[in-house]
Amino acid sequence: MSTQGPFRLDGKVAAVIGASSGIGEAIAVACARAGAHVSCLDLEGGKAEAVASRLRREGEQAEAAPIDFVKSAAVQEALDDIQERHGKLDIVVATPSINVRKPILAYTDDEVDRVLGINIKGNFNVLRAAGRIMTAQRSGSIVLFSSIRSLVVEPGQSVYAATKAAIVQLVRTAATEFGPSGVRVNAVAPGVVETPLTAPIKANKEWYDAYSAKSVLRRWASPEEIAAPTLFLVSDAASYVTGTVLFVDGGWTAADGRFQPPGM
pLDDT of 4 reads 72
The predicted model gives 104-121 an average pLDDT of: 98
**CATH code assigned to 13-195+224-248:** 3.40.50.720
Distance (Å, rounded) from C-alpha 97 to C-alpha 120?
Answer: 9
The predicted model gives 113-142 an average pLDDT of: 98
Residue 1, pLDDT above cutoff 50: no
Measured CA distances, 4 to 1, 35, 145, 204, 208 (Å): 8, 10, 28, 45, 40
Distance (Å, rounded) from C-alpha 78 to C-alpha 204?
Answer: 39
Residue 195, pLDDT above cutoff 90: no
pTM, two decimals, is 0.94
Please, is 243 exposed, middle or buried when counting C-beta atoms within 10 Å of its C-beta (0-12, 13-18, 19+)?
middle
The predicted model gives 131-138 an average pLDDT of: 98
Spatial contact of 94 and 17, defined as CB atoms under 8 Å apart: yes
Residue 58, pLDDT above cutoff 80: yes
Give percent above pLDDT 70 in the chain.
Answer: 97
pLDDT of 2 reads 40
Residue 259, pLDDT above cutoff 80: no
Q: What is the pLDDT of residues 145-194, one digit of tens each?
A: 999 999 999 999 999 999 999 999 999 999 999 999 999 999 999 999 99
pLDDT of 178 reads 98
Q: Which long-range contacts (CB under 8 A, 24 or more apart) does 154-159 make?
A: 155/103, 156/101, 156/102, 156/103, 157/99, 157/101, 158/103, 158/104, 158/107, 159/100, 159/107, 159/111, 159/112, 159/115, 159/116
Quickly state the pLDDT bin for 258 (edges 50, 70, 90).
low
Q: Where are the domains of the chain?
A: 13-195+224-248
Residue 241, pLDDT above cutoff 90: yes
Spatial contact of 51 and 28, defined as CB atoms under 8 Å apart: yes
Which residue numbers are catalytic? Answer: 160
Q: What is the pLDDT of residues 36-51, one digit of tens each?
A: 999 999 999 999 999 9
pLDDT of 262 reads 75
Q: What is the pLDDT of residues 158-171, one digit of tens each?
A: 999 999 999 999 99
